[in-house]
Chains A and B, each alone.
Chain A
Amino acid sequence: MTKHRLFWPAVVLAVLLLANLAFTPDFFAIRIKDGHLYGSLIDILHFGAPLVLVALGMTLVIATGGIDLSVGSTVAIAGALACLHISEAADPASPGTVVASVAIALAVALVLGVANGVLVARVGVQPIIATLILMVAGRGVAQLVTGGQIITVTSGPYRLIGGGYWLAVPFAVLLAVVVVLLTALLTRRTALGLLLESVGGNPVASRLVGIRASGLIALVYVFSALCAAVAGLMISSNVSSADGNNAGLWIELDAILAVVVGGTSLTGGRFSLGGTVLGALIIQALSTTIYTIGIPPETTLVFKAFVVITVCLIQSPAFRAKAVRRRSSATRSARPRPLKTEEAEA
């Protein structure tokens, strides 16, 4: 069982959750409050949903050997556009307005994704540079849309996306589950996943065997932008406002971390959707743990770094083998044996 690639991420998540139990005895308690589920675990799923989506898009990008730094800006732009449209509409609470605002946000995200895709796949700019352009410029665009202000909206249907409940479950969680399942179906039940992995493994060889590598690469950037846009809608809807400056700030780094913690290699060529979902939940559970056990804000980042390094090391088969070997050799003889340097495959 320990051989399964999701084993270690699952263990880490379980340990994090159990650690909370020591500080908050009813941490696992879930009850119904005001007709919806209420509890710490629900919070983790609820706040983790946007990160799961962004990380999902990032996983496919990374599978092709690329990276998408612009997702945070896309999050901000999507939220800003939707809130701007709703705040200027005659009837903010009508479902038509909300559907239109969501459509605008997704359409713009589509354009942004195509721009990234064309830069990477057609023009041949390195992904980190191509998406850096939008990462920097996009925040400015979001600021421009909001006019430098925080736009507050009061719209029941819009609130549903990120802050509402459907059948007692947070709607954002349901939405994330559906997107994850659809992605899994598309990549694992069709050849798409295999094609993406082959492009990531060796784009030239893939093209020579007849795979349209550039089209596939452009496709994953569009997918990533759309995921980020949905996440942006969730985040802004959850607080009923759009903040061009802070919405989705550094979420690209959290997403990359979630992908890595989930066991997808940054060099591309293989990916694990389940691992990414677990990785995103680990990161959210980590934040909740910090708030619950009361780690002082000054040391929060150190604590986070420590946990992340530990997780990455535990995940690396090379490191585990080394640790086991060192321990057994230490018991056998006191003489140190030169060890082969192995690269941690984190």
Chain B
Amino acid sequence: MSKRVAASLVAGAMVVALSACGSGGGSADGKDSGHKLTVGFSQVGAESGWRTANTKSVQDAAKKAGITLKFSDAQQKQENQIKAIRSFIQQKVDVIAFSPVVESGWDTVLKEAKDAHIPVVLTDRAVDSKDDSLYVSFLGSDFVEEGKRAGDWLVKEYQGRTDPVNIVELQGTTGSAPANDRKSGFTDVIKADAKFKIVASQTGDFTRAKGKEVMQAFLKSQPKIDVLYAHNDDMALGAIQAIEEAGKKPGVDIKIISVDGVKDAFTAMSQGKINVDVECNPLLGDQLMDLVKKVKAGEQVPRRIKTQEGVFTQDQAAAALPTRQY
């Protein structure tokens, strides 16, 4: 009996001790949040609506998460980003996050961050470096996956049919990562079936005006076009105008696959002019702030984190349109 009482007392003491441990950890956390987490974020610039939405998402998420954000706009120049990162190191921020303008030339400045024991997180774009220890994680879209999703939709749409499908492609800016990857992902999926044929492929520089101009030429030089695959929504929107002027119905006579998921494209989808839109999500702020907290807490994080993205059909687009932010 006395033995059991003793045992229960010991057990009770252990529970108290454990909970004391827990509360001890809790109060330590409390102290940490008293000294607010500071993140230095170096953005590429404000070159597109997509990028502006991206910036806003990061700023809003930081505010929501109670994290102090030191924001720097690099205006598309690498030297500005390097300067920004150096100033973040001097200010002793807790975590540095940045979207590299270009892929190479980061080793020196990232080494400085590493020596100062400041973890670095990449967002949206990757760096090309032999030294893997220079950054802890890369959070961003997978452009190859986006191309594959576009291809998957096409394969499904034409399942069970054997007649040839003529595809024209509007590529993004020649040599840019999204253009290269969206092209290769798409081609990988459709090459399995010989009925799919890309009959023409030109760059539309990711703009509406070029997309329209190139599509007009395609409509005249190609006798039969079944499908248009555009690497972004702006080119698709330009092409839609060209198709309409040629007296054809976009989305019906020519099926249209696009990438990005901006508001204007969703409007066009709800009118039946785009068949499917593969999302490329700029709203990665919340994911980034979660990641930053985990990194600071010393948790193990994956090297590569993909942003949460979907594929939108016409009905889904019509439903999502009122809440679309960008």
- A interface residues with partner B (beta carbon < 8 Å): 23-24, 27, 33-34, 38-40, 43, 47, 143, 147-150, 152, 163, 235, 238-241, 243, 245-247, 287-288, 290-294, 296-298, 300
A152's partner among B52, B214, B218, B264 (CB-CB below 8 A) is B264
Q: Which residue of B lies closest to A154 (CB)?
A: B267
B208's partner among A33, A241, A290, A296 (CB-CB below 8 A) is A241
Check A163 against B241 for contact (C-beta < 8 Å): yes
Give the Cβ gap from A66 to chain B, nearest Cβ, in Å.
28
Check B221 against A23 for contact (C-beta < 8 Å): yes
Give the Cβ gap from B234 to chain A, nearest Cβ, in Å.
7
Cα–Cα distance between A152 and B265 once the two chains are bound (Å) = 11
Question: Can you name 25 A-B residue pairings with CB atoms under 8 Å?
Answer: A40-B221, A43-B213, A43-B216, A47-B213, A143-B46, A148-B46, A148-B48, A148-B52, A149-B52, A150-B234, A238-B209, A239-B209, A239-B241, A243-B207, A245-B47, A245-B48, A246-B205, A246-B206, A246-B209, A288-B217, A291-B217, A291-B218, A292-B220, A292-B221, A296-B201
With a cutoff of 8 Å between Cβ atoms, the chain B residues found around residue A34 in the complex are: 245, 247
Check B246 against A38 for contact (C-beta < 8 Å): yes
Q: Which residue of A lies closest to B215 (CB)?
A: A291
Cα–Cα distance between A89 and B266 once the two chains are bound (Å) = 23
Check B241 against A291 for contact (C-beta < 8 Å): no
Give the Cβ gap from B223 to chain A, nearest Cβ, in Å.
9
Check A33 against B247 for contact (C-beta < 8 Å): yes
With a cutoff of 8 Å between Cβ atoms, the chain B residues found around residue A43 in the complex are: 213, 216-217, 220
Check A300 against B221 for contact (C-beta < 8 Å): no
Give the Cβ gap from A296 to chain B, nearest Cβ, in Å.
8
Of all A-B residue pairs in the complex, the 4 with the closest CB atoms, nearest first, are: A291-B217, A297-B203, A239-B208, A292-B221
Check A148 against B202 for contact (C-beta < 8 Å): no
Q: Which residue of A lies closest to B51 (CB)?
A: A148
Cα–Cα distance between A148 and B43 once the two chains are bound (Å) = 14
- Convert B64-101 into 0s and 1s, putting 1 for each residue whose CB lies closer than 8 angstroms to a CB of A: 00000000000000000000000000000000000000
- B interface residues with partner A (beta carbon < 8 Å): 46-49, 51-52, 171, 174-175, 200-203, 205-209, 212-214, 216-218, 220-221, 234, 237-238, 241, 245-247, 264
If the complex has contacts A292-B217, A297-B171, A298-B174, are A247 and B200 also in contact, measured as CB distance less than 8 A?
A: no
Give the Cβ gap from B226 to chain A, nearest Cβ, in Å.
17
Cα–Cα distance between A148 and B214 once the two chains are bound (Å) = 25
Q: Which residue of A lies closest to B267 (CB)?
A: A152
Check B246 against A33 for contact (C-beta < 8 Å): yes
With a cutoff of 8 Å between Cβ atoms, the chain B residues found around residue A235 in the complex are: 209
Cα–Cα distance between A40 and B46 once the two chains are bound (Å) = 36
Check A294 against B200 for contact (C-beta < 8 Å): yes
Cα–Cα distance between A247 and B234 once the two chains are bound (Å) = 13
With a cutoff of 8 Å between Cβ atoms, the chain A residues found around residue B175 in the complex are: 298
With a cutoff of 8 Å between Cβ atoms, the chain B residues found around residue A143 in the complex are: 46
With a cutoff of 8 Å between Cβ atoms, the chain A residues found around residue B205 in the complex are: 246
With a cutoff of 8 Å between Cβ atoms, the chain B residues found around residue A147 in the complex are: 52
Give the Cβ gap from A42 to chain B, nearest Cβ, in Å.
10
Give the Cβ gap from A18 to chain B, nearest Cβ, in Å.
15
With a cutoff of 8 Å between Cβ atoms, the chain A residues found around residue B213 in the complex are: 43, 47, 287, 291
With a cutoff of 8 Å between Cβ atoms, the chain B residues found around residue A245 in the complex are: 47-48
Cα–Cα distance between A163 and B212 once the two chains are bound (Å) = 11
Cα–Cα distance between A150 and B211 once the two chains are bound (Å) = 15
With a cutoff of 8 Å between Cβ atoms, the chain B residues found around residue A238 in the complex are: 209, 212, 241
With a cutoff of 8 Å between Cβ atoms, the chain A residues found around residue B220 in the complex are: 24, 27, 39-40, 43, 292
Give the Cβ gap from A34 to chain B, nearest Cβ, in Å.
5
Check B217 against A239 for contact (C-beta < 8 Å): no
With a cutoff of 8 Å between Cβ atoms, the chain A residues found around residue B214 in the complex are: 291
18 further A-B contacts with Cβ under 8 Å, apart from A40-B221, A291-B218, are A34-B247, A43-B213, A43-B217, A47-B216, A150-B208, A150-B264, A152-B264, A235-B209, A239-B238, A239-B241, A241-B208, A245-B48, A246-B209, A288-B217, A292-B220, A294-B200, A294-B202, A298-B175
A291's partner among B47, B49, B202, B206 (CB-CB below 8 A) is B202
With a cutoff of 8 Å between Cβ atoms, the chain A residues found around residue B174 in the complex are: 297-298, 300
With a cutoff of 8 Å between Cβ atoms, the chain A residues found around residue B212 in the complex are: 238-239
Cα–Cα distance between A24 and B216 once the two chains are bound (Å) = 14
Check A290 against B241 for contact (C-beta < 8 Å): no
Cα–Cα distance between A143 and B48 once the two chains are bound (Å) = 9
Q: Which residue of B lies closest to A29 (CB)?
A: B220
Cα–Cα distance between A47 and B241 once the two chains are bound (Å) = 14
With a cutoff of 8 Å between Cβ atoms, the chain B residues found around residue A297 in the complex are: 171, 174, 201-203
Cα–Cα distance between A40 and B174 once the two chains are bound (Å) = 25
Q: Which residue of A lies closest to B233 (CB)?
A: A150
Give the Cβ gap from A80 to chain B, nearest Cβ, in Å.
14
If the complex has contacts A33-B246, A150-B264, are A40 and B209 also in contact, measured as CB distance less than 8 A?
A: no
Give the Cβ gap from A48 to chain B, nearest Cβ, in Å.
11
If the complex has contacts A43-B216, A149-B52, A297-B202, are A243 and B221 also in contact, measured as CB distance less than 8 A?
A: no
Q: Which residue of A lies closest to B234 (CB)?
A: A150
With a cutoff of 8 Å between Cβ atoms, the chain A residues found around residue B234 in the complex are: 150, 243
Cα–Cα distance between A245 and B201 once the two chains are bound (Å) = 24
Q: Which residue of B lies closest to A40 (CB)?
A: B220
Q: Which residue of B lies closest to A287 (CB)?
A: B213
Cα–Cα distance between A117 and B214 once the two chains are bound (Å) = 36
With a cutoff of 8 Å between Cβ atoms, the chain A residues found around residue B245 in the complex are: 34, 38
Cα–Cα distance between A27 and B223 once the two chains are bound (Å) = 12
With a cutoff of 8 Å between Cβ atoms, the chain B residues found around residue A240 in the complex are: 241
Cα–Cα distance between A331 and B123 once the two chains are bound (Å) = 67
